[in-house]
Structure 1
Amino acid sequence: MAELLFKMGRWSFRRKWVVLATWLIILGAVAGAAVGFSKPFSSQFSIGNAPSIEATKLMMENFPDAGNPADAATVNLVFASTDGSRLDEEHNKEAIDDVIHAVEDSLSDEIRNTQRFGNPVVLSPQLTQGVYDMSVEQGLPEATAREDAENLALVSDDGRIAYTTFDFDVDSAMKVSDEQRQAVYDAMELGRDQGLQVEAGGAGFGDPIAIKATSEVVGLAVAFVVLLLTFGSLIAAGLPLITAVIGVGIGVLSILLTTAVVELNDVTPTLAIMIGLAVGIDYALFILSRYRVERERMPAPDAAGMAVGTAGSAVVFAAATVIIALAALVVAGIEFLSWMGLLAALTVAVAMLVALTLVPALLGIFGERAFGARIPGVAGNKKRDGSWPKRFRKGMTMGRRWVTLVQKIPAVMLAAVILGLGVLSLPVTRLEMALPSDTTSNVDTTQRKAADLMAEGFGAGVNAPLLFVVDAHAVDPDAPALRPFVEAQRQGAEAEAAEADPANAEGAGGADNAAAEPFDEHKAAAQAAYIYTVDKIDGMAEIKNAQLVGMNDDATAAQVMITPYTGPEEQETVDVSHALRDRAAEIEAATGATVGMTGLTAVQMDITEELGNAMPLYLAIVVGLAIVLLLLVFRSIMVPVVAGLGFLLSVGAAFGVTVLFWQEGLWGLVSSPGPLISFMPIFLIGVTFGLAMDYQMFLVSRMREHYTHNGGRAREGSRYNGVEESVIEGFSAGARVVTAAALIMIAVFVAFIDQPLPFIQIFGFALGAGVLFDAFFIRMTLVPATMFLMGRATWWIPRWLDRILPSLDVEGSKLEKDFEAGLIGRDLRGESGETGESEDASIDDAAQRPRRAAAHRRR
């Protein structure tokens, strides 16, 4: 593979304009197609075959006009007095009227399900009285009827908080337009101007995904500074940014084009940008850094080929680990997560191809100016007075100082890393997960304020309603559990018949009347199943209220609304949902009816649990993948094992600090602490794993390169053994560029903390923490420390395994030998391409190769 990449890099250098034009044409073509065919993203998180989804299908079969309860564009308008007065006072009542009338005037033909829409001060007593009267008529005890009515009240007991609700007349919440949202905002301002607090929430009033361009700008700016310090050249610092932007542009535009055939969640492009930008810059950085080293000993086209053949080989395998880790998200069996992983993997693949071809092409375009515009005294450049910086005169870079310190006290370093990251991992045991909702929004958003007001006025459970759908088509009229209810209905029907025709009821005519209008036992059993369901649920200690809220036209199915005591983000609500599912199974067994639990809260909890259940399997896959890939690349047993265990430590610490700050609000640095977004942990595992293997590949490949080139022996006069010397020399050669790569990734990820949406902020923080821990604590401390302690066992592999494993030559050992022997590279006929070098120069370069190669190995 190294030889193939060498040829590709050399060809790209020489055919620079063709390569550049090709990528620009691809970028333009994908952009044009995306503009022409892309569709809107979805803000919903859905999962197939979950119990709540099956219940949703049951609901829609029996109530076709009700729509999808998990995707309804519901809006809750919440009112609260700011001075402690009651809302039924005239001035507050008039202010609410103004808001309601403004919504009606601007959205009269665009809203539906308005049974509970109006001035809640006026509407609430009417609704509660109607529910009470209907319940009493149905034979419910007065206490139960009153409890059901009060549970549907729109005004709090103290009269200070009230709400009203409606749905936008659209297919789903994602179809709500900006104009419709603005109409609600304008109406809210009328109430606010009169002294009321007016907030809005609900699935139909979520803010669309808004990405601040400042995150990308900040990330690129910091990356430029790091690259400038790495290369000491303005031009070289800009090249990785150019290639990364082109690669990410193609990747994200491809995602937009994919929406033409697949419904994608609106988080998908944001994550692709974060990951693609970070790896795109890093891959270009590694190749560019290697090119600078190789250019000292060979012509520019060959240096470009060698850089792509060596560093590019590591890029390919590093990218492969990221791609496989992201693509492996399909094992979770969750559609939106699968597409998120696959399309992020596509962006990484594009970034890799751009780095392998466009970086050498740009080097060909800039030629000797590729490292021009140098900054004096930076990155090894001479100072303005012509002298070298002190650290370069002594030959002791920061990387060499660090690795020699680790070599002196490896056991201490190893213990410090394990204990430190182990302690930081402890908060993972308190991890809580949820999907984005009003209750997890930032505290300064109207959605969060609306949810908090409703919880204050009506209890936290008002934000977490659950819906039972009871399908009684197959109900068993002879079920013992239903017989008392059926017989009660039979007696009631007979009593009504007797009251309607007393004369006929005195004699045998009663039987004639019953024959004329026979008692429908199946319908009675269905009614009994509904009553039985409510009775079994309402008696649960965790449930605040359960009540029948609707039946279909032929009374073969019913809806039961369940209000828990706790909110949607609380673990107690999850526990309640499990208890309700158990109770549903009992009801089905006792009645023969089919019972399912649906609603937005139930769907979100199912997704969260599916993601949690998928994590152990996914973690096993990625760690196993790491061991296999590294075994192939480094032909060692211990290197992959150490790498895999180190990854577990770094990802555990990243989880831990994320829980501490974003879930538990450590030091008050996060204004809205709460459960972490459900798919963040599994996605963090995949991305952190891929990036960890990046650093493992680039650092350890340089160590392996030194070890194999010297036959596992130390150089003459060295005070280190062969393994120690290879670790020190390889680390010193790669530490600077790996440090730069890690800092760039951290900067890109952390810049997204400035985004307005909490889950994007959390992703940026968690990924930044993951890179920090893995790059600096694991790859640059724990890995060399364990190598020093293991000695020659570091590179041990059973002979039988060594024989059957394919030779990948990631470190380019065979490529180097072929190049030194003149078997590959510039021929002696002056094939100078467009560099302007003469045939004599070519022959001279060929003659100097062995000497330069020897000098290169000494470095």
Structure 2
Amino acid sequence: MAKLLFKLGRWSFHRKWIVIVLWLAILAGMAGAAFSFQKPFSNQFSIGGTPSIDALYTLQENFPDAGNPADAASVNVVFVAPEGELLSDPENFAAIDAVIDYLDDNLVDITDTERFGNPVEVSPALQESVIEQTTSQGLPEETALEDAANLAMISDDGTIGYTTFTIDVESSMDVTQEQRDTVTAAMDQGRELGIEVEAGGAGFGDPIEVKASSELVGLVVAFVVLIATFGSLTAAGLPILTAVIGVGIGALAITVATAFVELNNITPVLAVMIGLAVGIDYALFILSRYRAERRRMPADDAAGMAVGTAGSAVVFAGVTVIIALAALTIVDIGFLTAMGLSAAFTVLVAVFIALTFIPALLGVLGDRVFEAKVPGLAGNPVRRGGKRRRGRTLGNRWVSVVRRFPGLVMAVVVLGLGAMATPVLQMELALPSDSTSNFDTTQRKSADIMAEGFGEGVNAPFLVIIDAHNVDLDSPALQPLITAQTSIAQQSGTELDAQAAASTSSFLYTVGQLQLVNGVKHAQLIEINDDSTAAQILVTPVHGPDDPLTTETATALRTQAEQIADATGVEVGMTGLTAVQMDITERLAGAMPIYLGIVVGLAIFLLLGVFRSVLVPLVAGLGFLLSVGAAFGLTVLVWQEGLWDLVNTPAPLISFMPIFLIGVTFGLAMDYQVFLVTRMREHYIALQQQSAASTDPNDPVRISTMDAVEESTVVGFTRGARVVTAAALIMIAVFIAFIDQPLPFIQIFGFALGAGVFFDAFFVRMSLVPATMFLMRGASWWIPAWLDRLIPRLDIEGTELEKEWEQRQAAKKAHREQMDKVTS
């Protein structure tokens, strides 16, 4: 591969204008296609194949007019009376009426208005209706009173009330800003009249907004780091330029894809975040290698050699990242698959841009690429005509410290990152809801008020769907209820249909069984379809949506549902927003071991082929677990536990953060592993192939008292540390800049990815890896003969390429000398 990339680099260098025009044409073509064919990004996160979604299909089949309760644009408006007063007091009653009237007059197309109105009036009427309907079905009055109390819209002390309705749009994400503004204006009406009014619900969530400033901040910091790395404004601008073009193509391609598939508007944000980080880093590695090679070879060969060596590492690292992102498809959750594939495509573009566009720009600029030097940086003299500073680099000093105390460094890293990872044991996962919104939002206030007035479970209802088409007429569990219905029918002189009697009995039986589940506050039958073949049961848990006990209750409800189905022959499913969110969390947790096995296993296999070593891939994999564990731990401490009050509202982490963080961080961790250890292996192979102690007698870091492993570790680390440090700082800056985004889960992603790169680059790759090599010495590059024969060779160091180039140079030199003799 290195030889092929060498040819590609030289070709791009010599055919610079073809390459440049081609990439700019692709960018323009993508822009034109995006403008012509794009469709709006969706605000929805597509999912499917979970038990709660299957239950939704059952609901829609049996209740065609029911809509989708998991995606309905429902709004709760909550009222709180001033201290010492009741909502029924005349002034407060009038204030509530003002809010209701404003909503009724200005908010068109509202549905599900059975509980819409002044709760002081609507609640008693609703409860009376429930009691009448329940007792008419032959149920005990005690059950009727409990059902009515569970649907109360006024708290027991009369100080808290609420009304609810649904905005008639396709989904909760389609609510317009104008509709939100109408609800806000109605709330202001009540507040001006002296009562507290808050609103929440899926139909009154904050719109998804993305700020463009994060990318700009990341680019500015990256530019500063690049200036410090190269000491040149021109060289610092090239990685920024190529990354922006690559990300532009990737983002526009994602926009074009909306013409064919539905994508949510977060998809391009994550692709841009990752694409910018890797795009700058890949260009940095190739440009840095070009500068080193330019000292000993012509510009075109230097460009080819940079692409053949550093470019090989870029290809390997890019493939690792792409595998990690594309493997998210195994979770089989639509929006996560779209995010992974979109980001993977953007990384793919970044790889090709780095391999071709960078050498093309080098062909245009020539030796001017490192002009516009900044005095005092990257070894530049402070004043014109001053001497260039030479001496031991910071990287060389650090690896010398690690060499002196490898055991201590290893212990500090392992124990330190291990301790940092311990908060992961308390990690809680959930999807965004009113109960996890920031404390200062009206959505969070409404959820807290509802929990205070009606119990925490009011924010986490489950909807159980019973399909009784195949009910067992002879079920022993249903016979007492069927007998009771038969007796009532005989007393009233009506004819009882056996199928209907069994179906109704299964509904009542299910309610009774669900009521027995631990953690259930109340279960009640709320609707039966026209032919009595299906029913809906509202189950209110004791605890809130983000409480782990609610998850336990959901699991127990499903276990009970299976027992009910076995006993009666009916199909029982559970859905609703809370159930859907829990199913997503459960599926993600279940997919995690498979995902880790695929990504980590394949990457370790590839590393075995690259480094021909057992220890190096194992250290790479174990080190990754330490760094990602520490990143998780710090994220839990800050965003979930509220360490030092650094975040406004500590809350459970978003459910798909762990698997996405693991995938991205693992891919990026392998980047640094490859770029750093490749330089070590290059020197080690050179020492093995030559009898001399060093291939470069003028090498300033050459230490003759070292063995081959020690020297290759020191030399390779010294040569690669500066670039890897710059790459890590750039990536951290790009990720951390996204903490400025308004969406909490993007903030958490930015923070967690930045922390993951920080721990992995500086603690694992630049400390643990050299420490283990110093400790293991010759075992560092050991591989069993049978495994060496089994695993394919992947020459990303370009050893054969270097040898071939040197042979060509020697042949050219010999030819020139011969020609000189002939002419003389």
- TM-score tier (shorter): over 0.9
* Equivalent-residue separation in structure 2 for 1:129 and 1:382 (angstroms): 88
Q: Tell me which amino acid in the other structure corresponds to 1:20.
A: I
Contact 1:75-1:202 at 8 Å conserved across structures? yes
Question: 2:660 maps to what in 1?
Answer: 683
Could you say what secondary structure the match of 2:197 adopts?
Answer: strand
Per the alignment, do residues 253 and 188 of structure 1 end up closer, same or farther by CA in structure 2, a change over 3 Å counting? farther
Residues 565-587 of structure 1, C-alpha deviations (whole Å, 9 max, x = no match): 11111110000001101111111
Question: 2:533 maps to what in 1?
Answer: 556
Question: 1:789 maps to what in 2?
Answer: 775
Question: 1:500 maps to what in 2?
Answer: none
Could you say what secondary structure the match of 2:379 adopts?
Answer: coil
Report how far residue 173 of structure 1 moved.
1.8
Contact 1:46-1:607 at 8 Å conserved across structures? no
Per the alignment, do residues 21 and 192 of structure 1 end up closer, same or farther by CA in structure 2, a change over 3 Å counting? farther
Report how far residue 304 of structure 1 moved.
1.4
Q: Tell me which amino acid in the other structure corresponds to 2:424.
A: V
* Equivalent-residue separation in structure 2 for 1:89 and 1:363 (angstroms): 79
Q: Tell me which amino acid in the other structure corresponds to 2:740.
A: D
Question: 1:320 maps to what in 2?
Answer: 319
- Aligned counterpart for 1:581 among listed residues 553, 558, 569: 558
Question: 1:704 maps to what in 2?
Answer: 681
Report how far residue 743 of structure 1 moved.
0.6
Question: 1:743 maps to what in 2?
Answer: 729
Residue correspondences, number: 809
Report how far residue 111 of structure 1 moved.
1.7
* Equivalent-residue separation in structure 1 for 2:185 and 2:33 (angstroms): 37
Report how far residue 82 of structure 1 moved.
5.0
Could you say what secondary structure the match of 1:548 adopts?
Answer: strand
- Aligned counterpart for 1:496 among listed residues 492, 496, 501: 492
Residues 714-773 of structure 1, C-alpha deviations (whole Å, 9 max, x = no match): 438712111111000100000001001001111111111121111111111111111011
Q: Tell me which amino acid in the other structure corresponds to 2:781.
A: W
Question: 1:420 maps to what in 2?
Answer: 416
| Residues 720-731 of structure 1: pairs in structure 2 closer than 5 A | 720-731=706-717
* TM-score calculated relative to the size of structure 2: 0.95
Report how far residue 46 of structure 1 moved.
4.3
Question: 2:129 maps to what in 1?
Answer: 130
Q: Within the alignment, does 1:342 sit opposite 2:349 as a pair?
A: no
Question: 1:355 maps to what in 2?
Answer: 354
Report how far residue 36 of structure 1 moved.
3.0
Q: Within the alignment, does 1:647 sit opposite 2:624 as a pair?
A: yes
- Aligned counterpart for 2:738 among listed residues 722, 742, 752: 752
| Residues 248-263 of structure 1: pairs in structure 2 closer than 5 A | 248-263=247-262
Q: Within the alignment, does 1:3 sit opposite 2:6 as a pair?
A: no
| Residues 489-638 of structure 1: pairs in structure 2 closer than 5 A | 489-497=485-493, 518-638=495-615
- Aligned counterpart for 1:435 among listed residues 431, 436, 451: 431
Contact 1:103-1:184 at 8 Å conserved across structures? yes
Could you say what secondary structure the match of 1:262 adopts?
Answer: coil
* Equivalent-residue separation in structure 1 for 2:232 and 2:422 (angstroms): 43
Contact 2:610-2:795 at 8 Å conserved across structures? yes
Could you say what secondary structure the match of 2:535 adopts?
Answer: strand
Residues 484-510 of structure 1, C-alpha deviations (whole Å, 9 max, x = no match): 11111111111112xxxxxxxxxxxxx
Q: Within the alignment, does 1:309 sit opposite 2:308 as a pair?
A: yes
* Equivalent-residue separation in structure 1 for 2:88 and 2:627 (angstroms): 57
Report how far residue 83 of structure 1 moved.
4.4
* Equivalent-residue separation in structure 2 for 1:568 and 1:252 (angstroms): 35
Question: 1:765 maps to what in 2?
Answer: 751
Report how far residue 368 of structure 1 moved.
2.6
Q: Tell me which amino acid in the other structure corresponds to 1:26.
A: I
Contact 2:517-2:553 at 8 Å conserved across structures? no
Report how far residue 804 of structure 1 moved.
4.2
* Equivalent-residue separation in structure 1 for 2:784 and 2:711 (angstroms): 23
Per the alignment, do residues 385 and 362 of structure 1 end up closer, same or farther by CA in structure 2, a change over 3 Å counting? closer
Q: Tell me which amino acid in the other structure corresponds to 1:425.
A: A
- Aligned counterpart for 1:483 among listed residues 450, 455, 479: 479
* Equivalent-residue separation in structure 1 for 2:470 and 2:118 (angstroms): 42
* Equivalent-residue separation in structure 2 for 1:448 and 1:299 (angstroms): 64
What stretches of structure 1 of length at least 5 have no aligned partner? 498-516, 829-841, 848-859
Q: Tell me which amino acid in the other structure corresponds to 2:555.
A: H
Could you say what secondary structure the match of 2:115 adopts?
Answer: coil
Q: Tell me which amino acid in the other structure corresponds to 1:348.
A: V
Question: 2:804 maps to what in 1?
Answer: 818
Question: 2:700 maps to what in 1?
Answer: none
- Tell which deviates more after alignment, 31-40 or 473-482: 31-40
Report how far residue 32 of structure 1 moved.
2.5
Contact 1:45-1:604 at 8 Å conserved across structures? no
* Equivalent-residue separation in structure 2 for 1:570 and 1:267 (angstroms): 27
Could you say what secondary structure the match of 2:178 adopts?
Answer: helix
Residues 602-624 of structure 1, C-alpha deviations (whole Å, 9 max, x = no match): 11101100101111121122221
| Residues 197-346 of structure 1: pairs in structure 2 closer than 5 A | 197-346=196-345
Residues 658-684 of structure 1, C-alpha deviations (whole Å, 9 max, x = no match): 111111112222221111111110111
| Residues 97-112 of structure 1: pairs in structure 2 closer than 5 A | 97-108=97-108, 110-112=109-111
Per the alignment, do residues 170 and 710 of structure 1 end up closer, same or farther by CA in structure 2, a change over 3 Å counting? same
Per the alignment, do residues 613 and 302 of structure 1 end up closer, same or farther by CA in structure 2, a change over 3 Å counting? same
* Equivalent-residue separation in structure 1 for 2:495 and 2:658 (angstroms): 60
Report how far residue 329 of structure 1 moved.
1.3
Contact 2:477-2:568 at 8 Å conserved across structures? yes
Per the alignment, do residues 40 and 457 of structure 1 end up closer, same or farther by CA in structure 2, a change over 3 Å counting? farther
* Equivalent-residue separation in structure 2 for 1:45 and 1:723 (angstroms): 51
Q: Within the alignment, does 1:406 sit opposite 2:410 as a pair?
A: no
* Equivalent-residue separation in structure 1 for 2:799 and 2:687 (angstroms): 11
* Equivalent-residue separation in structure 1 for 2:191 and 2:29 (angstroms): 49
* Equivalent-residue separation in structure 1 for 2:442 and 2:251 (angstroms): 31
Question: 2:444 maps to what in 1?
Answer: 448
* Equivalent-residue separation in structure 1 for 2:619 and 2:308 (angstroms): 27
- Tell which deviates more after alignment, 713-722 or 210-219: 713-722
Report how far residue 388 of structure 1 moved.
4.2
Report how far residue 280 of structure 1 moved.
0.7
Contact 2:518-2:553 at 8 Å conserved across structures? no
* Equivalent-residue separation in structure 1 for 2:165 and 2:370 (angstroms): 63
Report how far residue 823 of structure 1 moved.
7.3
Q: Tell me which amino acid in the other structure corresponds to 1:656.
A: G
Q: Tell me which amino acid in the other structure corresponds to 2:483.
A: E
Question: 2:766 maps to what in 1?
Answer: 780
Could you say what secondary structure the match of 1:673 adopts?
Answer: coil
Q: Tell me which amino acid in the other structure corresponds to 1:151.
A: N
Could you say what secondary structure the match of 2:47 adopts?
Answer: coil
- Tell which deviates more after alignment, 403-412 or 22-31: 22-31
* Equivalent-residue separation in structure 2 for 1:452 and 1:824 (angstroms): 79
Residues 169-207 of structure 1, C-alpha deviations (whole Å, 9 max, x = no match): 122222222332232223223223333332222122222
Residues 672-702 of structure 1, C-alpha deviations (whole Å, 9 max, x = no match): 1111111110111111110000000000000
Contact 2:489-2:495 at 8 Å conserved across structures? no
* Equivalent-residue separation in structure 2 for 1:159 and 1:774 (angstroms): 56
Per the alignment, do residues 378 and 197 of structure 1 end up closer, same or farther by CA in structure 2, a change over 3 Å counting? same
Report how far residue 843 of structure 1 moved.
8.4
Could you say what secondary structure the match of 2:734 adopts?
Answer: helix
Q: Within the alignment, does 1:459 sit opposite 2:458 as a pair?
A: no
Contact 1:86-1:160 at 8 Å conserved across structures? yes
Q: Tell me which amino acid in the other structure corresponds to 2:741.
A: Q
* Equivalent-residue separation in structure 2 for 1:250 and 1:80 (angstroms): 52
- Tell which deviates more after alignment, 156-165 or 723-732: 156-165
Per the alignment, do residues 612 and 182 of structure 1 end up closer, same or farther by CA in structure 2, a change over 3 Å counting? same
* Equivalent-residue separation in structure 1 for 2:511 and 2:526 (angstroms): 11
Residues 12-54 of structure 1, C-alpha deviations (whole Å, 9 max, x = no match): 2222222222222212222222233333334444433221111
Per the alignment, do residues 486 and 97 of structure 1 end up closer, same or farther by CA in structure 2, a change over 3 Å counting? same
* Equivalent-residue separation in structure 2 for 1:824 and 1:531 (angstroms): 92
Question: 1:832 maps to what in 2?
Answer: none
Report how far residue 117 of structure 1 moved.
1.4
Could you say what secondary structure the match of 2:61 adopts?
Answer: helix
Per the alignment, do residues 105 and 407 of structure 1 end up closer, same or farther by CA in structure 2, a change over 3 Å counting? same
